[in-house]
Amino acid sequence: MKFLSTFLALALAVAISLKALPWPFVWIFLAGFVFCLFSAAAFKGRLLRRLALSAGSVCLLCAAVEAAMGGLERAAQKRSAEHGRRSDGNFYGNILPHEVLGFAPRPGSSLWQEAYDGDRLIYGAVYTIGPDGLRVSAPSFPGWAPTLGSVLFFGCSFMFGETVNDDETLPTVTGALAGWKYAIHNFAFHGYGPHHMLAALQGGVVERVVKLPPRCAVYLAIPHHVARVAGKATWSLRDPRYRLEPGGVVARAGRFGDAWSGWSRVWLRYQSRKSAFVRFLSSRERRVTGADAALLVGVVDEARRAFEARYPGAEFHVIVWDEPHALMPGIIAGLRAHGVRVHLASDILTGFAEHLDRFMTPGDSHPNAATYRDLAEYVAGEILGARQAAAGPGRGE
């Protein structure tokens, strides 16, 4: 009875530690160490005592490893904070579950972010989400009506326009440079990948929003999309899951949390927020492979097929953010082999390969406003054929 009471007290301590204490696994392993010592004292047999003491040693070692790795993480975070601390404002509080996409911004909301270097503001951006759930990309002047159809944009935070305001994103600037003759729809969002694009096309998300016949769709691919399309991002459990069948056929397979390893992934990624050691293990799990790259190519090509089937005559284009990555050459070759229209950032942005940092927001991993404008000039001129750039919304028809 005394042994059972001790065990129940330990279980209660574990539950409290997970909920309330910093570095909970350090305390849990220390509690396990104490429990093993108590068990060793209570057992009469020599073998059971040795087993209890061995288990206690393991618990003590795990507590030490967890504390050491947590300390190293804390030190790294402190060093990072000295050079650039970030306030995410109400950004994550306005992200909701979505039946098709897994998650999406709250329709009709305004999200904001700020980033600092010490006390110096690096950027402050407001993201306006319209009633349709997409970032606002339309002009505000009265009487505007697009005359040439619509243009669809897909991708992640790069296409969404993280770090810049509504009027500085690639889709919005493209609309302005094309004289506001197109309805602009920005289906991109923070953390998305090509699987969200395909799910939006297959699940009716695009069809519910787009009213004018599309002229084209533009998807911006970055290297991390390889991990996302394979479900190897820490936030991807609710994401739509696709698999590559024999023969190169792409098939929907529920969500990543529904996979055979779903429960273990749920536990691992949930605990990764609390355990430095589990974060280390989960980062090893997220290494991408050639099979993941092949899946990305297949999903993008399937999205192209779905788009062109739904909107005959419309064009599907991919801009590849081709910063150095071991799998990128194969991805580019694979997309072109499928007949996908591919445009490389290194061909669009002069000096991209040599001076990538010039094109990024200082202290952040996203492009700056000037880079978005350069990309938009290319889309408006080379893809839409609007070679006479508009100076502003007054040029629209």
Position 388 scores a pLDDT of 53
Query: What mean pLDDT is predicted for residues 318-340?
Result: 96
Query: What mean pLDDT is predicted for residues 365-371?
Result: 94
Tell me whether residue 244 is in a domain.
no
- Residue bearing tokens 């529904």: 258
Asked if residue 262 has pLDDT above 70, the reply is: no
- What CATH number corresponds to the domain at position 115? 3.40.50.1110
Query: What mean pLDDT is predicted for residues 85-112?
Result: 82
Question: Does residue 89 share a domain with residue 79?
Answer: no
Asked if residue 332 has pLDDT above 70, the reply is: yes
Question: Does residue 171 share a domain with residue 136?
Answer: yes
Q: In b/e form, how buried is each residue of 333-367, taking b as 16+ CB within 10 angstroms? A: ebbeebebebbbbbebbeebeeeeeebebebbebb
Q: Using pLDDT thresholds of 50, 70 and 90, give the confidence band for residue 203.
A: very high
Position 394 scores a pLDDT of 36
| Reported pTM | 0.78
Position 395 scores a pLDDT of 31
User: Under a CB-based contact definition with an 8 Å cutoff, are residues 366 and 158 in contact?
Assistant: yes
Residue 98: which residues within 8 A CB-CB, separation 6 or more? 104
Query: What mean pLDDT is predicted for residues 240-268?
Result: 78
Query: What mean pLDDT is predicted for residues 372-394?
Result: 78
Domain count, the chain: 2
Asked if residue 199 has pLDDT above 70, the reply is: yes
User: Under a CB-based contact definition with an 8 Å cutoff, are residues 227 and 235 in contact?
Assistant: no
Tell me whether residue 283 is in a domain.
no
Query: What mean pLDDT is predicted for residues 265-283?
Result: 59
Tell which of 32, 64, 83 closes a domain.
83
Dihedral, 14, 18, 22, 26 alpha carbons, nearest 10: 40
Question: Does residue 96 share a domain with residue 214?
Answer: yes
For 42-94, write each residue's pLDDT tens digit.
888 888 889 989 999 999 998 898 888 777 777 765 655 555 545 455 677 78
Tell me whether residue 37 is in a domain.
yes
Q: Using pLDDT thresholds of 50, 70 and 90, give the confidence band for residue 234.
A: confident
Sequence-ordered alpha helix ranges (H) in 286-368? 290-310, 328-337, 345-348
Question: Does residue 95 share a domain with residue 205?
Answer: yes
Question: Does residue 207 share a domain with residue 293?
Answer: yes
Q: Is 341 helix (H, G, I), strand (E, B) or coil?
A: strand
Question: Does residue 178 share a domain with residue 322?
Answer: yes
Tell me whether residue 239 is in a domain.
no
For 143-178, write each residue's pLDDT tens digit.
788 889 999 999 999 999 999 999 999 999 999 999
Query: What mean pLDDT is predicted for residues 261-267?
Result: 53
For 350-365, write each residue's pLDDT tens digit.
999 899 999 999 878 8
Query: What mean pLDDT is predicted for residues 362-385?
Result: 94
% of the chain residues with pLDDT over 90:
55
Could you tell me the sign of the dihedral formed by the alpha carbons of 194, 196, 199, 204, in that order? negative
Question: Does residue 89 share a domain with residue 204?
Answer: yes
Tell which of 59, 83, 107 closes a domain.
83
Highest mean predicted confidence (pLDDT) among 56-70, 117-131, 295-309: 295-309
Position 75 scores a pLDDT of 73
Position 232 scores a pLDDT of 87
Question: Does residue 304 share a domain with residue 220?
Answer: yes
Question: Does residue 113 share a domain with residue 70?
Answer: no
Domain that holds residue 78: 2-83
Question: Does residue 62 share a domain with residue 169?
Answer: no
% of the chain residues with pLDDT over 70:
80
Closest CA to 182 of 394, 373, 386, 391: 386
Asked if residue 396 has pLDDT above 70, the reply is: no
Tell me whether residue 34 is in a domain.
yes
Question: Does residue 210 share a domain with residue 72?
Answer: no
Query: What mean pLDDT is predicted for residues 386-397?
Result: 45
